[in-house]
Amino acid sequence: MTDNDMKNGKPNPDAETDTTENLKFTPAQGDKPTLDADGEIVDAELLDEDGEDADFAGFPGMDEGMMAQVQEMMGKLERVDELEKENADLKFKLGRLAADFDGYRTRTGQDLDTAEDKGVSKAAEQLMPVYDDLERALTMGSEDPAKLIPGVKAVQNKVLTIFSKLGLEVTGQEGEHFDPQWHEALQVVPGDEDDKIVQVFQAGFRMGDRLVRPARVVVSRKG
């Protein structure tokens, strides 16, 4: 206490007031309690350096439950952001897949058109000699009609040979048993046997187990 703190040998009241105002709290020393400005004991563990709640500093009035809700919401927002990124990535991949499929469909269509053109060309090449034979047969037949029939017969055999190379097989011949899978009955006439082809109006063709064209025939029926 200095001379200014004494007035006429008595303590200066103002000095005491200043000293009291400067006393906010004294940090605990060892096992000694912490005092606030009023001299009451304060639990120093609940205060941070600024005298605020250490667990929720900067959020006045927020308790532990509210903080948990905030943290939960923040976690959900982060998850939403992740899902949006995944969705954008999936959209990009889907767009690429659609573009690839469109390109594949275009290439496949072009390949089919090319294969069809090649098939037509190949069949036409096989039939060109037939055309040449028909032309010669007609030329010979105009000079001598008796030669027309053998020439046409030769052309027919050549056509059947070409069909055989293409995998076509003739079905529906006289004496053959009638089979509705391969034959179409145009007429039924009395005969010695049931379901026997007695006349062929138009030959049929098959390719393995697939019918290309049914044979149109006349079928016999007993009684």
Q: Model confidence over 135-151: pLDDT tens digits?
A: 888 887 787 888 788 88
Q: How confident is the model at residue 25 (pLDDT cuts 50, 70, 90)?
A: very low
Pull the structure tokens for residue 21. Answer: 């105002």
Q: How confident is the model at residue 15 (pLDDT cuts 50, 70, 90)?
A: very low
Write down the architecture of domain 169-223 according to CATH.
Roll (2.30)
Question: Backbone phi, then psi, for 221, in 5-degree steps?
Answer: -145, 125
Q: Where are the alpha helices (DSSP H) in the chain?
A: 13-22, 64-143, 148-165
pLDDT of residue 120: 76
Residue 21: which residues within 8 A CB-CB, separation 6 or more? 37
Q: Name residue, tokens 């004494």.
A: 6
Indicate if the pLDDT at residue 6 is higher than 90: no
CB atoms within 10 A of CB 176: 16
